[in-house]
């Protein structure tokens, strides 16, 4: 067999480097040597990321002639190729048939789990449990790695305050502090704290930047915001991911200050590399380079040159780099060093992964057979789901249910598999999903009599259904008329002791290109809930959705509401566990629930304005509405438990904090209900006077603690001047001494406060 020269090249490599450190001399020497042999075409080839289209295309274009391009050295990496066999074929082509035998890297959208599907990221963020979130990334990364992948397009850390935007489902909610903790946990989980063994994968933080602020919640729309807001409220999670060592960053589709992120030099070079010290590589989003033609930035050659010069290293799918950079170089529109720099960064990523040493490092069929969809991963999927649910209402302690009597199990999502997985479950298989009906039966056997009725279609609107069903039949339309479905449900309810209605959104009613202007329950389901409420039976709503829904009316009609989001493949088992009290819900909202779309954007850390308004009654010449109060349906941080926690008054170690001193903030939390339970104790501050206007509250810390019934725990937080810093009008990160309020409570509405002065 022909000797492969890449092996010779690799003899010099002894150890792995880690992300965000300066390049090791060995890596530099290796890459200098390799690049000295590369032609211009081969260097540009490294900047090309392709998807063969046979698996999971997410845009309207897929790459052509992939095999031939690999042989020619025209490909740096691939995504959307799933399974060891296919990846091995592609890698073999690269290392055996391309001139310099440079290995490829292989990525995928591992967004919430890989083949074992976890709850959507927005759900997971409601666990406020960083160990669990890190574990979710570790387990997903390990599973993906064992199936041949070494790069995941996650975490998505876009702050979002507009639930009309479908992609709110993919992120960690509205808050920069919570979002930053999640970003760090996810990167550490995927990258195994930068120990790139064959169980760790490269993370790709996205979408850099500000994608979650798309105007009107319409996907891909314009973003325009002040730098002060950007630095204080939107950029911190991306920075946290960079600080944790993310190997890569994905540029976003939107513009920033009038320049699309993908060609925004301020963003990709000045901020990301110079200010934050990022030394990994930047990949565009799907055909985002080409899309700058539609943005009005010029033809393909122009936009490709702009992107490269701005600091973009890799072009996803569009092949603008591949087809135009050589010409631009000839015409003096870009410099050789621009290409060299981008190529070096891609090669460095491959080196750090250890692919030059062993291009087949991730490609072991036996390992895949053992790891993919293994029982331990299924158990993690269930654990994550249980911790993600948020109990929004529990009147008369309707929950937990008793394992006796008759339950009417109603609703279009009560016996559904496909929609459990949620959006962006590209490698998930709904065959493995456990519907609620099955989960309840698994748990209670025949101790409970279950009468099932679908009750309604997810939607009855044919035009809407067609748009949602693009990836398969998520919304099925029953043969029976809507009236007959409701009647069946009411009949079932009348026979039961309690009604459990599983309602909400189909998986692709949220996610990419799934914005909604009306985020209420579809009409068909509103009618169902109304009819069920009229029966007078205790009514438990289990709501599956990818976003906050404006369900004020339904919350009033129901006795209890458990918001489960799209909970992944173990949804049914996890929901059963919570409904029957095997797990006491502990989730807290990472996002504000509006009462009406007219209140959007609505978020807890808003400014006070010059005419603040407090209360429910309209007040002329105050900042309020004629037709609705300012209050949300549920505030950020909110979530109930089957037990009850009470808080002592917040106590400060001192009311005057001298420079360099620490402030201790203490509360006693008592579980005075009937169940053991977990509580997320939240610390907020308010900076009373600033050189710029400051939010009415800002999350500064949280602790998730377990307290047995009847017991109390003291919770202590420490605050320093450093925690109170913010970006001022000159974008300097500063601390301003003065008066502060400190709050500790169960959610962002807390009034448990104390005053202090930081000198």
Catalytic residue among 285, 338, 416, 460: 285
Residue count (the chain): 759
Q: For residues 424 and 636, which CB has a smaller minimum distance to ligand BGC in the complex?
A: 424
| Minimum distance from residue 81 beta carbon to ligand BGC (Å) | 12
DSSP helix/strand/coil, 177: helix
DSSP helix/strand/coil, 167: helix
Q: For residues 284 and 459, which CB has a smaller minimum distance to ligand BGC in the complex?
A: 284
* Paired strand residues for 453: 410
CB atoms within 10 A of CB 653: 15
208: left (phi over 0), alpha (psi -120 to 50) or beta: beta
Six token digits for residue 553: 């009316």
Q: Strands 663-671, 712-719: parallel, antiparallel or unpaired by DSSP?
A: antiparallel
Q: For residues 317 and 500, which CB has a smaller minimum distance to ligand BGC in the complex?
A: 317
Q: For residues 114 and 727, which CB has a smaller minimum distance to ligand BGC in the complex?
A: 114
CA 578 to chain centre: 23
Q: For residues 58 and 525, which CB has a smaller minimum distance to ligand BGC in the complex?
A: 58
- CB-CB contact of 411 with 454 (8 Å): yes
Where do the DSSP E strands lie in 364-460? 390-394, 406-410, 449-453
Where do the DSSP E strands lie in 623-745? 645-647, 651-652, 656-657, 663-671, 677-687, 698-707, 712-719, 726-727, 733-734, 738-745
DSSP letter, residue 677: E
Q: For residues 31 and 261, which CB has a smaller minimum distance to ligand BGC in the complex?
A: 261
H/E element holding 123?
Answer: helix 121-125
| Minimum distance from residue 141 beta carbon to ligand BGC (Å) | 15
- Convert 359-391 into a string of H (helix), E (strand) and C (coil): CCCCCCHHHHHHHCCCHHHHHHHHHHHHHHCEE
Q: Closest Cα to residue 117, out of 573, 575, 570, 574?
A: 570
Q: Closest Cα to residue 72, out of 102, 105, 46, 98?
A: 98
Please give the residue ranges that form the binding site for ligand BGC (CB under 6 A): 58-59, 109, 153, 206, 285-286, 512
Q: Strands 390-394, 560-563: parallel, antiparallel or unpaired by DSSP?
A: antiparallel
Six token digits for residue 456: 């309604």
| Minimum distance from residue 80 beta carbon to ligand BGC (Å) | 7
| Minimum distance from residue 294 beta carbon to ligand BGC (Å) | 15
Q: What distance in Å separates the CA atoms of residue 199 and residue 16, rounded to the nearest whole number?
A: 14
Six token digits for residue 43: 């260097």
- State phi, psi for 673 to the nearest 5 degrees: -105, -160
HSE-up (13 A, CA, CB side) for residue 53? 11
DSSP helix/strand/coil, 575: helix
| Minimum distance from residue 170 beta carbon to ligand BGC (Å) | 7
H/E element holding 539?
Answer: strand 539-544
| Minimum distance from residue 189 beta carbon to ligand BGC (Å) | 18
Q: For residues 252 and 525, which CB has a smaller minimum distance to ligand BGC in the complex?
A: 252
- CB-CB contact of 102 with 72 (8 Å): no
Q: For residues 58 and 425, which CB has a smaller minimum distance to ligand BGC in the complex?
A: 58
| Minimum distance from residue 88 beta carbon to ligand BGC (Å) | 22
| Minimum distance from residue 254 beta carbon to ligand BGC (Å) | 11
Radius of gyration of the chain (CA): 27
| Minimum distance from residue 426 beta carbon to ligand BGC (Å) | 8
Angle between helices 436-444 and 571-579 (to 10 degrees): 50
Q: For residues 106 and 452, which CB has a smaller minimum distance to ligand BGC in the complex?
A: 106
- CB-CB contact of 662 with 758 (8 Å): no
Q: For residues 59 and 121, which CB has a smaller minimum distance to ligand BGC in the complex?
A: 59
| Minimum distance from residue 515 beta carbon to ligand BGC (Å) | 13
Q: For residues 152 and 308, which CB has a smaller minimum distance to ligand BGC in the complex?
A: 152
Q: For residues 60 and 517, which CB has a smaller minimum distance to ligand BGC in the complex?
A: 60
| Minimum distance from residue 52 beta carbon to ligand BGC (Å) | 13
Residues with Cβ within 8 Å of 36's Cβ and at least 6 positions away in sequence, in order, are none
Angle between helices 336-353 and 320-330 (to 10 degrees): 140
> Measured between alpha carbons, how far is residue 597 from residues 237, 331, 466, 519, 593 in Å?
26, 51, 24, 7, 10
DSSP helix/strand/coil, 457: coil
The dihedral through the CA atoms of 156, 162, 166, 168 has a sign that is: positive
| Minimum distance from residue 387 beta carbon to ligand BGC (Å) | 25
Six token digits for residue 368: 């895949």
Six token digits for residue 659: 């420079």
Q: Closest Cα to residue 423, out of 325, 565, 320, 282?
A: 565
Q: Closest Cα to residue 199, out of 111, 131, 132, 139?
A: 139
Q: What distance in Å separates the CA atoms of residue 449 and residue 438, rounded to the nearest whole number?
A: 13
Q: For residues 17 and 66, which CB has a smaller minimum distance to ligand BGC in the complex?
A: 66
| Minimum distance from residue 291 beta carbon to ligand BGC (Å) | 10
Residues with Cβ within 8 Å of 366's Cβ and at least 6 positions away in sequence, in order, are none
- Convert 435-495 into a string of H (helix), E (strand) and C (coil): CHHHHHHHHHCCCCEEEEECCCCCCCCHHHHHHHHHHCCCCCCCCCCHHHHHHHHHHHHHC
* Catalytic residue status for 747: no
Indicate which residues carry an active-site annotation.
Answer: 285
């Amino acid at each position: 067999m022909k000797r492969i020269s890449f092996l010779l090249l690799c003899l010099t490599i002894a150890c792995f480097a880690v992300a965000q450190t300066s390049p090791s001399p060995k890596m530099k020497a290796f890459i200098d040597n390799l690049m000295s042999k590369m032609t211009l075409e081969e260097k540009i080839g490294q900047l090309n990321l392709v998807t063969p289209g046979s698996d999971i295309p997410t845009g309207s274009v897929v790459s052509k002639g992939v095999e031939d391009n690999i042989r020619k050295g025209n490909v740096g990496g691939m995504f959307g190729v799933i399974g060891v066999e296919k990846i091995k074929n592609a890698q073999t082509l690269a290392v055996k048939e391309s001139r310099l035998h440079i290995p490829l890297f292989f990525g995928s959208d591992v967004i919430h789990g890989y083949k074992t599907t976890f709850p959507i990221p927005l759900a997971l963020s409601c666990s406020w449990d960083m160990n669990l979130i890190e574990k979710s990334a570790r387990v997903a990364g390990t599973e993906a790695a064992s199936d041949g992948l070494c790069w995941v397009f996650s975490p998505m850390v876009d702050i979002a305050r507009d639930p009309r935007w479908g992609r709110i489902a993919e992120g960690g909610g509205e808050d920069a502090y919570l979002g930053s903790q999640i970003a760090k946990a996810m990167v550490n989980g995927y990258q195994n704290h930068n120990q790139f063994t064959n169980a760790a994968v490269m993370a790709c933080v996205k979408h850099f930047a500000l994608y979650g602020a798309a105007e009107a919640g319409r996907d891909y729309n314009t973003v325009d915001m002040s730098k002060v807001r950007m630095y204080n409220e939107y950029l911190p999670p991306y920075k946290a991911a960079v600080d944790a060592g993310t190997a890569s960053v994905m540029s976003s589709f939107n513009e920033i200050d009038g320049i699309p992120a993908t060609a925004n030099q301020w963003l990709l070079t000045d901020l990301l590399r110079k200010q934050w010290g990022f030394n990994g590589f930047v990949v565009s989003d799907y055909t985002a380079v080409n899309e700058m033609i539609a943005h009005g930035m010029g033809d393909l050659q122009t936009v490709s040159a702009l992107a490269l010069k701005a600091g973009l290293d890799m072009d996803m799918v569009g092949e603008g780099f591949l087809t135009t950079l050589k010409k631009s170089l000839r015409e003096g529109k870009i410099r050789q060093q621009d290409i060299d720099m981008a190529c070096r960064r891609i090669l460095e990523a491959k080196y750090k992964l250890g692919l030059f040493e062993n291009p087949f490092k991730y490609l072991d069929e036996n390992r895949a057979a053992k790891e993919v969809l293994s029982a331990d991963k299924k158990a993690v999927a269930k654990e994550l789901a249980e911790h993600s649910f948020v109990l929004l209402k529990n009147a008369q302690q309707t929950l937990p249910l008793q394992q006796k009597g008759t339950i009417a199990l109603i609703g279009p999502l009560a016996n559904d598999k496909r929609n459990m997985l949620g959006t962006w479950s590209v490698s998930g298989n709904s065959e493995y999903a456990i519907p609620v009906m099955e989960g309840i039966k698994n748990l209670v056997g025949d101790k409970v009599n279950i009468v099932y009725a679908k009750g309604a279609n997810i939607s009855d609107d044919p035009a809407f259904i067609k748009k949602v069903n693009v990836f398969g039949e998520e919304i099925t339309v029953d043969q029976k008329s809507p009236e007959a479905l409701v009647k069946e449900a009411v009949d079932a309810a009348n026979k039961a002791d309690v009604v459990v209605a599983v309602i909400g959104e189909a998986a692709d009613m949220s996610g990419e290109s799934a914005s909604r202007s009306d985020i209420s329950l579809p009409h068909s389901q509103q009618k169902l809930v109304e009819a069920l409420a009229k029966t007078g039976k205790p009514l438990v709503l289990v709501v599956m959705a990818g976003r906050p829904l404006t369900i004020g009316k339904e919350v009033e009609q129901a006795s209890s509401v458990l918001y489960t989001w799209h909970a992944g493949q173990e949804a049914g088992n996890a929901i059963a566990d919570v409904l029957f009290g095997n797990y006491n819900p502990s989730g807290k909202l990472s996002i504000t629930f509006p009462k009406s779309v007219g209140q959007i954007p609505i978020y807890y850390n808003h400014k006070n304005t010059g005419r603040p308004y407090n209360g429910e009654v309209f007040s002329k010449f105050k900042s309020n509405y004629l037709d609705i109060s300012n209050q949300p349906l549920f505030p950020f941080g909110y979530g109930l438990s089957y037990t009850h926690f009470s808080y002592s008054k917040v106590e400060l170690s001192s009311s005057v904090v001298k420079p360099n001193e620490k402030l201790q903030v203490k509360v006693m939390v008592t579980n005075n209900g009937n169940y053991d339970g977990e509580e997320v104790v939240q610390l907020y501050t308010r900076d009373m006077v600033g050189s710029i206007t400051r939010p009415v509250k800002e999350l500064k810390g949280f602790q998730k603690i377990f307290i047995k019934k009847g017991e109390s725990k003291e919770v202590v937080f420490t605050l320093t001047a450093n925690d109170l810093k913010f970006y001022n009008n000159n974008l300097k990160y500063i601390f301003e001494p003065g008066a502060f309020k400190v709050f500790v409570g169960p959610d962002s509405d807390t009034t448990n406060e104390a005053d202090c002065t930081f000198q």
